[in-house]
Structure 1
């Protein structure tokens, strides 16, 4: 028996590749296994190679697996593209329809199974993915009945006959593979799972659920990969709590609508990717100048321009910090797991209202679209804090004749009192130009300095629960590994291998990007002989920010990947090991 399994299904988009992986993984999740799934797909609706790689384990996993145990192929391209990942004991299960050929330089065993033929005999070739699931069950010694509940949920609306046909497709795939192998692949049987119930979700769903739990009641957005699932989730859920989602004509309208809702006292958000965020930059500056709370989700993807819209990258970092014209207060947070995506998004709305500024929740494609096992969420950890927003029921002091409410009053902490439009004695101006305490336009030099200082002063001491995730068992380390967003899992696995070779390795994952947590990071960098910053971009953007805010540039080296694929643990391990001479290990 094995504790972990890496399984991949591939073919052309539109062949049911995603549903095959979905059915397989949901059933195993319900058995109590931990899973981590990552899907490669082309930036078109139909056609082009796609695959779904799923890691199954009896213990928690947070990254893509280095190798592959089972490859399910619906075409020859899947074998040609992915076979090099197969380990020496790997298995290829391929549709006999295309007469599969195994490359000579692999030790994997190839089984040709009539996916399409068996499915067609049952009524439709569309069920070939269910035949493939059944063949997988035979390889892993999994009872096909564990899939019945999932099949019923997915196909139940089409009638019991459809459910039975799909189950029969699974059974026939199982029986055919069993006869082919004669039960000789026991080395791929999974050790039993603990049977506990856990969630299985993508990061975008966690972000959307976090927004809902955090009190968001309005979203304006324009569809874009890889952020669209956030809007799709909230379109279904927000109306249930009196909220709404508007699909706008572009990202400029999305940002300004969300700002308008925020000004009216509604917790509002928008979500996009790099190209959309570029269009929003002027509006984000407006939110900064008017001190209006807004939450913006940026799911990073490959750029520039259209770039690699369906591939992994982390190259929006500097743009999110410095992309605005002029200078505004801004908070940027970066969750690293699906759980953190839920809690951090909920907290983003508190930060936006408490500090009256834009809050950007930075994600990346791997985190947003990768599907992970998630422990049950604790909703008691979510609280609603509205800062200096004056409640509607509270009476404001009478204004002097022809006077105005000091919406932008200069205060010691830089945060001014905030009112809902229409409150008696709360009248004030709102404008994107520089203004005085009541919002009236003013170009006086002294006023300009006072208002600028006030705005910037309020984010000098942002209170965020975990600005830096630390796994630092060593007071002095040979190596400190630093990352953000989805690289956390690969880094953690790489550290385990490096520690086995005698290196003392600490890990810091940055969750509050701006204002930068220099005080938390400084002692870790000072006590490390070398610092490796792991990130998905070509220029080492996070490393640049660390050097600018902490220093110690002579210690810092870049570990970079920008080919559109996520880091594998072995890649982080190899890059870091090369930093040390043999005698140092």
Structure 2
């Protein structure tokens, strides 16, 4: 029996690939397996090759696998594009309708199943995804009743008749392939999972859940890949908590609406990708000048311009840190796991309120849309901090305005909500004095700039660096961000087998940069590799600028739209050292 296995389904977009993957992985999750998924999809509503890959394991995993055990193919293109990943003796379950052929040089077992024909016998070819699911599930020798339970969950809202038809489709696929193969494949039988309850979600859903728990009651946003699922999740969930989602006409309206709602005291967020973030830049400056809390999620994708809207990239770092005109304090944090997406979103709302600044949560497409197992969330960890929100304003002299932008020791001024007795003050995007009145006085300008920019002095969030540093003086230190952490650890296992000692750091506080915390690890390592999905080494540049050691740091870059594979990282590190 094996402890892990990799499964992929491919076909044309709109052909049922996504729903097949969803039901297959839901059933595996019910059995207690750890899962890590990656979606490769076209930037079209229908048509164009798409595939979903799932790594299944009895132990926690945070990276896709290099190879592939089972490929389910709805067309020959799916075989031609993906068969190269199959390990020796791998399996292809393909629709017999297109007379599937295994490419030359590929050592794989082909099981042609009349997937479309069996579905049509039930009344519609739409159920071919269930026939295919049943066939691949049966080869693993897993209990069919668990899979049928996932089918009921998927189609239950459509009525019993639809559920029964789909269950029948599953059985047809299962029976046909078992007859073809002579039973389940012994070399593909998975060890029993621990059976423990696990959450199974994408990063965007975890962000949405974190926003609700943080007290967010309004999201203003414009749909964009790969951020739209945050909006879709909150559309369903926020009304249950007295909140709502407003789809605005563009990202400029979305961010300014969020600023206005936050000024009024409602915890509000917006989410977008690189193109939308570009449109928000002027308004982010407004939030900085007016010292209004603001939470923005940027789900990075391939750029520039429309670029690769459905592919992996980490190229917005410099835009998030330096994109606004002028100089304002802001915070940029980068979750590295599904759990981080939940907890860091809550932390983002707290930081925005505490420091009265824009906070950007930086994710990437793989983390945002890759469905993964995670342990149950600990709600006892959660604390809400609204910062210096004043509710009982001391009585002021007649016609005296509230000093909303008062110069304080820590740079953070007391804040009141509109309508608070004694809280009357000006709000403007031009430079102003402590009461908000416009002022171009040179001394006042220096005082206000110094006040705002001093807010974040010494800020270091919990786990701003996540470290795995067992070696005092390692041969290699690998640094990454976002979704790359699990891939780095998988590569390090292979390096360790070769006798190469290594440490790993995931940078989770991007700005202000945690220079002092990172410096000792870089100093101790013989060589440093910074791994990131962009062409210019943006994270490496920040490290060199803030920490130094430019002669020791080497970049490992990938910018073809695909995430790193463990084998790629292993090979590159071996060559670099």
Which TM bucket (shorter chain)? over 0.9
Q: Give the secondary structure class of the aligned counterpart of 2:576.
A: coil
1:142 deviation in Å? 1.4
Q: Alpha-carbon deviation of 1:184?
A: 6.8
> Does residue 568 of the first structure (1) align with residue 565 of the second (2)?
yes
Match of 1:389, SS state, is coil
**2:483 corresponds to:** 486
Q: In structure 2, what is the equivalent of residue 539 of structure 1?
A: 536
Counterpart residue number, 1:187:
187
SS in 2 for 1:477: coil
1:70-81 to structure 2, matched below 5 A, reads 70-81=70-81
Q: Distance in 1 between matches of 2:8 and 2:137?
A: 14
Contact 2:314 2:532 in 1 (8 A): yes
Helix, strand or coil at the partner of 1:51: strand
- What SS is found at the alignment partner of 2:43? coil
Counterpart of 1:330?
330
Q: Distance in 2 between matches of 1:308 and 1:201?
A: 24
- Offset of residue 243 of structure 1: 1.2
Q: How does 1:141-540 map to 2 (within 5 A)?
A: 141-183=141-183, 185-391=185-391, 394=392, 396-540=393-537
Which 5+ residue runs of structure 2 have no aligned equivalent? none
Q: Equivalent residue of 1:554, what SS? A: coil
Conservation of the 8 A alpha-carbon contact between 2:460 and 2:509: no
Query: Does the residue aligned with 1:553 lie in a helix, a strand or coil?
Result: coil
Give the equivalent residue in structure 2 for 1:5: 5
Alpha-carbon distance between aligned partners in 1 of 2:242 and 2:119, rounded to the nearest angstrom: 45
Distance 1:514 1:154 in 2: 42
Counterpart CA distance in 1 for 2:92 and 2:56 is 17
* Cα shift at 1:183: 2.8
- Name the Cα RMSD after superposition: 0.8
Aligned-pair CA distance for 1:463: 4.2
**What secondary structure does 2:342 align onto?**
helix
CA distance in 2 between counterparts of 1:42 and 1:287 reads: 36
Q: CA deviation at 1:153?
A: 1.5
User: Which TM-score applies when normalising by structure 2?
Assistant: 0.99
| Offset at residue 152 of structure 1 (A) | 1.1
1:182 deviation in Å? Answer: 1.2
* Structure 1 segments unaligned to the other structure (5+ residues): 581-585
- 1:102 matched residue in structure 2: 102
**Residue by residue, what CA displacement relative to the aligned partner does 1:201-250 show, whole Å, maximum 9, x if unpaired?**
00000001001101111110000000001011111111111111110000
Distance 1:132 1:186 in 2: 20
Check the 8 A contact 2:9/2:53 in 1, yes or no.
yes
1:286 Cα shift? Answer: 0.2
How far is the alpha carbon of 1:121 from its aligned partner? Answer: 0.7
Q: Deviations over 1:523-552 (max 9, x none)?
A: 000000100000000000000000000000
SS of 2:556's partner is: strand
- Give the 3-state SS of the residue equivalent to 1:223 in structure 2: coil
User: Alpha-carbon deviations, 1:68-127, whole Å to 9, x = none?
Assistant: 000000000000111100010211110001111111110011111000011111111111
Name the TM-score, length of structure 1 as normaliser.
0.98
Provide the rounded CA distance (Å) in 2 between the counterparts of 1:531 and 1:255.
38
Cα displacement (A) at 1:137 = 2.0
SS at 1:35 equivalent? strand
User: Aligned residue for 1:583?
Assistant: none
Higher deviation after alignment, 324-333 or 459-468: 459-468
Secondary structure of the structure 1 residue equivalent to 2:463: coil
2:327 and 2:271 map into 1 onto residues whose CA distance is: 22
2-side partners of 1:180 and 1:137: how far apart? 14
